[in-house]
Copies of this chain bind each other. A is one copy, B any other.
Amino acid sequence: MSTEGASTGPRPGTTPLTERSSRVAFARKLTKRQGREKAGAFLVEGAQAVGEALAAHRTGSLRVRDVFSTGQQQHRPLLEHAADAAVPVHTVTERAAAGLSETITPQGLVAVCDLPGASVHAALAAQPRLVAVLVGIADPGNAGTVVRVADAAGADAVLFAGDTVDAFNGKAVRASTGSLFHLPVARDRDVPAVLGACRAVGLRLVGADGNAAADLDEADRSGALSLPTAWVFGSEAHGLADPVLAELDTALRVPIHGRAESLNLATAAAVCLYASARAQRA
C-alpha cells in the first residue's frame, strides 16, 4: 500500500486511506504522549510546519517518515518537495486527516516525524552561549511559544527538565511555528542533571523569578547578562521551586513598573532572553 498509496494528490485510481487503514491508525496513536514515546515519532500539522519539517529532513536534522494529505491544490508544491526527498505521501480522506488533527479547522496536511533523540549533553555540545531551560511547565502552548521565542532570540538549545509538558505534543509543536526544527530541543526528567550539564559547559544558571531580590535591568547594567547564560523558567502557577532556586547562580525578576502582578511565562521569557541576546551582542 505504501507504494500504491504514495502520490502527490488524489489521482484517478488512487483510493484515499481511511481512518481504518493501519498507517492512519498508527499515526493517530501519536496524538498521545505514550504513543509518541512507544513509536519514537510525533505529528506535525499544517503547511507551514510540514514545510519546516521537510526542510529539516533535507538537511538530515530530522527524519520525516510519512506525509498525509487530503490532496488540496495549495499543498501540491509541498507534496512535490516531499516526493523529491523520497518521503512517502499518502492521500487520506478528510475524516482520516481530521482524526490526526488537534485543531478545530484541520488543514488536511500532517507529517509523521521521528522524535529527535538529542540528549541534553548533545544539545549542549556546541559551546552554547544562550539556553532556555523549562522546569515544570504544564501548558503545551506556553512551552511551544517559549521554543519560538528562544529561537528568535538566537538561543542555542531549549531543555525540557522535570515534569514539563512534552515538547512534541501537538499544541506545543504548533505554538513553536517550526522553531522546534531550528534548534536542539532535549528533555530529561532529572532536573539537577540538566542544571549540572549546563554548568559543566560554562553556562551561568539564572532563574526568572518574580520574587527575586535583583532585577533584570540591574543585572544588565552590571554586565552580568553578557555572560554565557542558561535561563531557567518555572511553572506558570508556582514559579521555580526552592530546591531548584538553590541550585542556581542567581535569580532575577523582570521589573514590574506598573501595577500588574506578574508577566505570563512567554512574555517574561521574551524579555529575559532578548535582554541576554542584546547584552551578548553589544
**Chain A contact residues, CB within 8 Å of chain B:** 145, 148-155, 177-179, 182-183, 217, 220, 254-264, 266-271, 274, 277-278, 281
**Cβ–Cβ contact B217 & A257, under 8 A:** no
Q: Beyond the given A152-B256, A257-B277, A271-B274, please list 18 additional residue pairs across the A-B interface where CB-CB is below 8 A.
A: A148-B260, A148-B267, A149-B260, A152-B258, A152-B263, A153-B258, A154-B257, A155-B258, A177-B261, A178-B261, A179-B259, A182-B259, A183-B259, A220-B278, A257-B281, A266-B267, A270-B271, A271-B271
**Cβ–Cβ contact B260 & A177, under 8 A:** yes
In the complex with contacts A217-B278, A266-B266, A271-B271, A258-B145 CB distance below 8 A: no
**Cβ–Cβ contact A254 & B274, under 8 A:** yes
**Chain B: minimal CB distance from A34 (Å):** 24
**6 nearest CB pairs, A to B:** A154-B257, A267-B270, A152-B260, A151-B260, A182-B259, A151-B258
Closest to A48 in B: B261
**Chain B: minimal CB distance from A224 (Å):** 15
Residues of B within 8 A of A148 (CB): 260, 263-264, 267
User: Whole-angstrom distance between the alpha carbons of A256 and B259 in the complex?
Assistant: 30
**Chain B: minimal CB distance from A182 (Å):** 4
**Cβ–Cβ contact A183 & B258, under 8 A:** yes
User: Whole-angstrom distance between the alpha carbons of A254 and B278 in the complex?
Assistant: 11
